[in-house]
Amino acid sequence: MNKPLLYLLSAVSLTLLFVSCGGDDYVPKPKAYIRMDMPQKNYVLYDTVALPFTFERPSEAIVNWKQNDSRTKYFDLIYPQYKGIINLTYKHFRSLDDLNSLIDTASRMLALHHSQSTGEKEMTLSDPNGRVYATIVKVGGKNAGSTYQFWLTDSTQHFLRGALFLNYTPNNDSLAPVIEYLQKDIDQIVETLRWRE
């Protein structure tokens, strides 16, 4: 093959290569997460003789009892469609020392998430007429295992602790819509809880 033809083929090939790779400047797409549309909220009264209180629970959650004895009751509200669970533990106590011990245990359970937390926002609610005193803690952080924990008491004999968990590898940025949706259910539980007389 002669040299001028080889140079011509090389020049044409390089020109085609540059033209095929050219065009509009490439702009990378921003990182995004799947959009999740949550259903409308619907609550029903949960009233069972197994508990000394009532509350409104989300109709979509399944109640799963794990243990039920005279002083301690463990049960969950399960959300299969979101792989979510609200663990609930009720304890009957007899003295102020018992109450302080229960609050200390709840605080230690919350502390298990400190290593992954970027901060906590604590809220307290007080309803002396209904004898409902609540502490709600929202845990910040992309990798926090439980983003919402709470406890309620009447300050004389009843104590309820709860924690929200999702069965995913923690990435709370992408799970934010689910977390926010389920946190509203916890708020509803806290706001509607009524101790029996």
Q: Whole-prediction pTM value?
A: 0.75
Instruction: Give 128-164 pLDDT, tens digit per residue.
Output: 999 999 999 888 766 666 778 899 999 999 999 999 9
Domain of residue 84, CATH code? 3.40.1000
* Residue 184 located in a structural domain: yes
Q: How far apart, in Å, do the first and last CA atoms of the chain sit?
A: 103
Q: For the chain, how many structural domains are there in total?
A: 1
* Residue 149 located in a structural domain: yes
Better-predicted residue by pLDDT, 134 or 171 = 134
Burial state string for 92-131 with b = 16 or more CB within 10 A and e = fewer than 16? ebeeeeebeebeeebeebbeebeebbeeeeeeeeeeeeeb
* Residue 152 located in a structural domain: yes
- The parent domain of residue 178 ranges over 54-195
Instruction: Give 10-31 pLDDT, tens digit per residue.
Output: 877 777 766 666 666 666 666 6
Residue 180 pLDDT: 86
* Residue 9 located in a structural domain: no
pLDDT surpasses 90 at 92: yes
Nearest to 139, CA basis, from 179, 103, 102: 179
